[in-house]
Amino acid sequence: MTRSTRLSYRGASCDCTRRVKSISFSDAPLNPSQKVSEVDERETREGDTYDAEKEVGRGRLGCESDQNPVETPEEGYRGDYPDKPSEHTYRTRRLYITLNPASRIRPFQEADPRTRRMEDDTHENVVPGSDEEVDAPDVRGYDFRDGFDLSAMLDAYATTGFQATHLAEAVDICERMRDDDATVYLTFTSNIVSSGLREAVAYLVREGHVDVVITTSGSVAEDVIKTEKPFKMGDWDADEAELRDRGINRLGNIYVPSDRYVWLEEYLYDFFDDFFADERVRTPSEFCAELGERLDDPDSVLKQSADNDVPVYCPALTDAEVGNFLYYYRQRDDAHDGVGIEILDDYEALIDDGLLADTTGLIAVGGGVPKHHAIMTNLFRGGADYAVYVSTGMEGDGSLSGAPPDEAVSWGKIRSEDETNYTQVQAEATLVLPLLIAGAFAEDS
């Protein structure tokens, strides 16, 4: 039972909130050398009450180790028995009040003037105050009481704070890219195609919202696989050795059975025969375009790119299964002699197209080679006009993948304007890219 009482402690009056466990009395005056356990105590019965508002003592209030007895209060105080064990015992000459550990003392008046001066000196540190109001919007989130509207919720992100506000900035910058008819570069890593974002990327290409795609070799391989064989949902917490025995590859919580790559190998060998038939050395963009023309899946990024004349650049084409199978293909007796991949021609084309563009905008989902290829080739034109990064990369390791857009400004790869023209959403792409697309691109569809 919680009681409130007023006690005197070293000359200062205190309001105390106490949970009284028990009260006991000694029949004889307290010997200062006695321990509590040595006193003949008589505990009150369970259910007895205690007049908590009554003053129970004056002078110095102490614990078990305190040897200074205080004035004996009136008889008749009683207590109840909460279940928790006690840690503190406060006593008068004959009366013992045992309190639970949660008891607190809240001083409301300090008699020592030195403490008052200390309070005056420290108060400004604790509550410094402010001289002027901040000229900025109020922090306020979306109000769900009037139903739900996605567009209104995304607008409310601007004043929600943290990464929601960065996402609202990203939506605004992408809308300005569209208003300025910018040449839009979309860069992404292979995990985007591994996940359900493949369909979102295909939408952007199909609807004409992006003009250049730069990605990794894993994206190319997995986009082709998914035209025939789906990936499966799995678990983050899995027995990796067991998965290996079963022929299952894990990508986070996505499973890719190895038979997908067996199928891909045979598919690419047939494609290589046709692709290198007339020319032995080809570019990655030619590889992606001709591969996309063979596919028959409306959700394929390569197919939509080929159908809509959007170039797909893959500077590190050999850095995945495509490279593995090219290696094996060249060892075959029936393979064309001298086949190879030339990357410099694509790099030159990227630079030239950037130089010819009046305005450029970048949407970089993840980091790595695709992101840097976009900003590096924009360096030749004095930097990209707009940039939106979606990344979980950490700036502290100094890597390109973790570098925010303002670092690219220092290199001249992104232009600095008076109005905010770049931002970074520090979040995992599957959470925020659909919202970015919904807010900046899909609303008018």
Residues involved in catalysis: 413
Exposure pattern of 185-216 as b/e (b: 16+ CB <10 Å)? bbbbbbbbbbbebbebbbbbbbeebbbbbbbb
Contact 219, 187 (CB under 8 A): no
Contacts of 350 (CB under 8 A, 6+ apart): 212, 214, 313, 373, 377
CA neighbours closer than 13 Å in the CB half-sphere of residue 371: 24
State the Cα–Cα distance between residues 136 and 389, nearest whole angstrom: 25
Nearest alpha carbon to residue 240 among 232, 231, 229, 249: 249
Both tokens of 212, joined, read 């250049």
Nearest alpha carbon to residue 312 among 264, 268, 349: 349
What DSSP designation does 442 have?
A: I
Phi, psi of 333 (to 5 degrees): -70, -30
Backbone CA torsion sign across 301, 303, 308, 309: positive
Q: 435: burial class by Cβ within 10 Å (0-12, 13-18, 19+)? A: buried
Exposure pattern of 143-155 as b/e (b: 16+ CB <10 Å)? eeeeeeeeeebbe
Q: Tokens 């985007």 sit at which residue?
A: 192
Nearest alpha carbon to residue 204 among 178, 172, 167: 178
